[in-house]
Amino acid sequence: MLKSFLLPLSKLTCLIPVLLAAGLCTAQDTGAAAGDAPAGDAGSITLDAAGDAAAMPEKTSPFPPEMQAAIDKFKTRDFKGAEAMLKEMVAKNPAYPPAGVFLGRLYAGIKQPAAARAAFEQAVRDNPNDPEAYVVFADSALQQRRFTDAVLLYEKGNSIANSYSTNETRKKSLQVRSLNGIAAVTEARGDFAGAEASLNKVLAMEPLNAAALNRLGRVLFQKGAKADEQKAYETFQKLYETDPKKMTRHEINMAKLYQGKGQGQQAEKLVKLALQRDGENLVTVLSAAQWALETGNADFAEEIATKAKAIDAKSVQVQLLSGIIARMKGDYSKAETELRQGQTLAPSNVMVLNQLALALGSQEDRAKIEQAVEFSQMATKLFPDARQAIGRECGVTLSWILSRLDKQDAALKQLQNMLQNGPVGTDASYYAAEVLHKSGRSDMATQLLKSAIENGRGVFPARKQAEDLLRKISGGQ
Q: Which domains, from first to last, does the chain contain?
A: 232-241+248-256+265-274 (no CATH), 344-477 (1.25.40.10)
Indicate the range of 108-112, 310-314, 351-355, 441-445 predicted with least confidence. 108-112
Read off the pLDDT band of 244 (50, 70, 90).
Answer: very high
Indicate the range of 53-67, 208-222, 446-460 predicted with least confidence. 53-67
Structure letter (DSSP) for residue 457 = -
Query: Kindly report the CA angle at 317 between 312 and 320, in degrees rounded to 5?
Result: 120
Query: Average of pLDDT values for 317-326?
Result: 96
> According to the model, what pLDDT value does residue 18 have?
54
> According to the model, what pLDDT value does residue 127 have?
94
Read off the pLDDT band of 28 (50, 70, 90).
Answer: very low
Residue type, 424: V
- Residue 139: pLDDT above 80? yes
Judge whether 220 and 228 are in contact, CB under 8 Å. yes
Give the global pTM: 0.83
Q: Which residue has the higher pLDDT, 205 or 48?
A: 205
Judge whether 16 and 32 are in contact, CB under 8 Å. yes
Query: Average of pLDDT values for 91-111?
Result: 91
- Residue 10: pLDDT above 60? no
Can you tell me the distance from the alpha carbon of 238 to that of 234, in angstroms, rounded to the nearest whole number? 6
Can you tell me the distance from the alpha carbon of 253 to that of 258, in angstroms, rounded to the nearest whole number? 9
Can you tell me the distance from the alpha carbon of 208 to that of 155, in angstroms, rounded to the nearest whole number? 23
- Residue 57: pLDDT above 80? no
H or E element in which residue 98 lies: none
Read off the pLDDT band of 14 (50, 70, 90).
Answer: low
Can you tell me the distance from the alpha carbon of 441 to that of 466, in angstroms, rounded to the nearest whole number? 16
> According to the model, what pLDDT value does residue 403 have?
98
> According to the model, what pLDDT value does residue 64 have?
83
Judge whether 271 and 253 are in contact, CB under 8 Å. no
Closest listed residue to residue 214, CA positions, set 227, 191, 195 = 195
Residue type, 177: R
> According to the model, what pLDDT value does residue 55 have?
39
- Residue 87: pLDDT above 70? yes
96 phi-psi bin (left φ>0, alpha ψ -120 to 50, beta other) = beta
Indicate the range of 6-15, 264-273, 315-324, 371-380 predicted with least confidence. 6-15
Can you tell me the distance from the alpha carbon of 185 to that of 147, in angstroms, rounded to the nearest whole number? 6
- Residue 121: pLDDT above 80? yes
Closest listed residue to residue 289, CA positions, set 91, 297, 180, 121 = 297
Judge whether 220 and 196 are in contact, CB under 8 Å. yes
Query: Average of pLDDT values for 58-63?
Result: 61
- Residue 54: pLDDT above 80? no
Q: For the CA atoms of the chain, what is the radius of gyration?
A: 24
- Residue 469: pLDDT above 70? yes
Structure letter (DSSP) for residue 99 = H
- Residue 59: pLDDT above 90? no
> According to the model, what pLDDT value does residue 61 have?
62
27: helix, coil or strand? helix
- Residue 44: pLDDT above 90? no
Residue type, 353: L
- Residue 300: pLDDT above 70? yes
Q: Is the dihedral of CA 205, 211, 214, 220 positive or negative?
A: negative
- Residue 290: pLDDT above 80? yes
Closest listed residue to residue 420, CA positions, set 444, 456, 400 = 444
Angstrom CA distances, 291 to 45, 285, 343, 432, stand at 12, 10, 24, 25
Structure letter (DSSP) for residue 189 = T
> According to the model, what pLDDT value does residue 1 have?
28
Residue type, 147: F
Can you tell me the distance from the alpha carbon of 395 to that of 384, in angstroms, rounded to the nearest whole number? 8
Read off the pLDDT band of 56 (50, 70, 90).
Answer: very low
Can you tell me the distance from the alpha carbon of 120 to that of 98, in angstroms, rounded to the nearest whole number? 9
- Residue 125: pLDDT above 60? yes
Angstrom CA distances, 10 to 56, 104, 186, 275, 378, stand at 9, 17, 35, 38, 19
Query: Kindly report the CA angle at 153 between 147 and 154, in degrees rounded to 5?
Result: 85
Query: Average of pLDDT values for 194-213?
Result: 97
User: Exposed, middle or buried by CB within 10 Å (0-12, 13-18, 19+), for 432?
Assistant: buried
Query: Average of pLDDT values for 78-104?
Result: 93
